[in-house]
Structure 1
Amino acid sequence: MKLLITGKNGQLGSELQDLQHEYPRFEMIFVDREEMDLSNPEQIQEVLEKEKPDLIVSAGAYTAVDKAETEQELCSKINHLAVQTMGEWAYKNNTKIIHISTDYVFDGNSEIPLKEDDKTNPINTYGLTKLKGEQALQASGAAYVIIRTAWVYSTYGANFVKTMKRLMNEREEIGVVSDQIGTPTYARDLAKAIMDIVVAPEFVQGIYHYSNEGKISWYDFAVAIKELSGVACKINAIGSDAFPTPAKRPNFSLLDKSKIKAVYGVSVPDWKASLGEMMKKI
C-alpha cells in the first residue's frame, strides 16, 4: 500500500516521518512545497499521476492564521482548492484520503465540547478556507476521513510551546490569554491516530475530532510549560481584548473525541502527559 503525505516538513508531517519505520509494509512518500506546491493544481495532479497513491494524507495547509487575513487568495488555494483537486483525483482513481482540518471551522460560542455535526461558522479567513476544503472533499465523491484538530504543537516547527519556552527565558513576566478554552494536540499523538485509521480493518468515512484530553486555557497551558521548564518567569492571565490580533480566534474550541474513539478505537492521551513527553524530547 502506497501513502502520499503532504506537509512533509510541517509538525504533523515530521511526526509521521518519525513513525514510518513502525509500518514497513507501507511505502510512504512525503512531499512539501518543493515537490508538490499546494497552490498549483496542475502540479498536484502531475505528482498524484506519477505516484498513484492508494491513500493520501492531506497534512499540508496554510496555517498562518493572522497573515491569512491579507493573503486570502493564497490561503484559499492551499486550504480549499488544493483539497478539492486531491479529492477529485482520489475519486477518479479509487484512492482514499485522510484530511486534517481545524477547530477554527466553529465560531467558539459553544459551552460544551464540540461534536462533528455541530453547526460550523468560521470567524476568520483561515477557518473559512478550511471549511471550504472540507466541503469540497465531501462533494468530490472520494472516500474520505476528515480529522478536525486544535492547538497543535510538536518538537518540530514553530508552535506555542517553543514560543513560551523562549519568552520565559527572555523575560521576567509575560501575559497569556486566559479566556480561550480548548485542549492542545501533541502532533505525535495525532500522527499515531492517523496511522490507526490507515491500518484499521475498515475505512469508515466521515468527520472526526481529535485533540488531547482535558479542558484548559492558553494561560493554563503556559503555566504547565513553565512548571515543566523550571523557569522563574511570572505568567499573568489576560483577556483576548488585551491582545488584539488581525484574525479573531474562537473563545471555545474544546472538541468531543468520543466518535474517533468509538469507531477507530483511537487512544487519546491526557494533554499534560503528552506535554511532558514532548518537553522531555526538547
Structure 2
Amino acid sequence: MTYFFSHSERDKELTEEIIDLLQLGMNIPSQDIFCSSLGNIPIGDEFPNAIKMKIQSSKVFFCLITPNFLTSKFCLCELGAAWITEKLIIPIIATPSTFSDINALPIRSNQCITSDSYDGFLQLFDKLMNEGLIKNVNLNRFINKLNSYMNNNSASITNDILNYIDIEIGCLGKSKVCIGETREELIAKIGDPDYVDTIGESTFYVYGNITYYFEFDINENSKVLTIGIGGNELTKHEVINILGEPTEDTWSDLDSEWYITYNIGERSLYIGFITDESRIGELDKESDSYYAQYLLATKNSKKVSHIILS
C-alpha cells in the first residue's frame, strides 16, 4: 500500500471526492489507497493496530485539514505517527480552515494545497510523477477528471454572502463591507441606500430587498464597528457546510430564536434563524416540560434571519 488518507469521518463526502480524483485521474489502484471511510479494514481486525500498520506500510500520507480534523484526537495521532516515521506528508486544506491553522502542527513547513485549488492539484500531479509514485497516467484524462472535481466541489465550499477569508479580515456580504471603514467609505462602496432608518444604536440601510445594519463608533470618524445583513435563502445546513461546526448553537430568549456563533480570527459571527414552528401544534401546552419540548421542536429551524459580524 502506497497512500494513507487521514480525515475526519465528518468530512467523508469531500474525502471520497478527492480519492475519486486520485484513483480515476491519476490511475492509482484502489488497493494502493487506505482510507477508513472506504472500509479498508478487514472484519475482526483491531482498529488502532490496523491504522498503525497501514501508516507504517505507506509511502505518502495525505491529511485533509478541516475544523473536524483539527479537533479529532485520533486524526492528530495519525498525523503524529506519519511525521515520526518520516512519511511524505501532503496536507490538503479545506475551507473554512486556512494555512494559519497548521502553524501549531509539526507539518507547518510542509508544502500544502487547498481542496479548491486547480493549480494545487496540478502541482500534486507533478510531485507524484517526479517521485515515481504514479505511472502510465494520461494527462488529458487527469485534466478532465480535475475539471469535473472542481465543478462539483466549488459550490459546496464558497458563498457570496459567507466567505471565511472575508470574515477573517472583517468583511461581510457581496459588496465586502468591512469593519473599520467610515460611513463615507461604505457609501462609496455600496452606493446611496433607498431608505435609511435608525433604531437604538443601529443604522439601517435598505437596498431593494437587501438590508444592511451598522453600528458606528461616533468617536472614530463614524467607523463601522458591527455589520449586519438581513435574512437570505441560506439554510442552517448550508451555513455549517461553508463554515464548519459552530462555536455555539443555542436559543436566545431575548430574540426568541435559535442562533449559532463562530469565532473566526479576531471576529465574532452571529447567525440567527427564523423559528420554524410547524411542529408546535403537536406539543402539550399544559405540560410542565412544554418549554423544553418547544426548544427541541424548533432547534432545526432552517432559514437564516440575519447575520451579524463584529
Higher relative contact order (CA 8 A, sep 6+): 1
Higher strand share: 2
The structure with the greater share of residues assigned to helix is: 1
Q: TM-score, normalised on structure 2? A: 0.35
TM-score of the superposition, structure 1-length normalised? Answer: 0.37
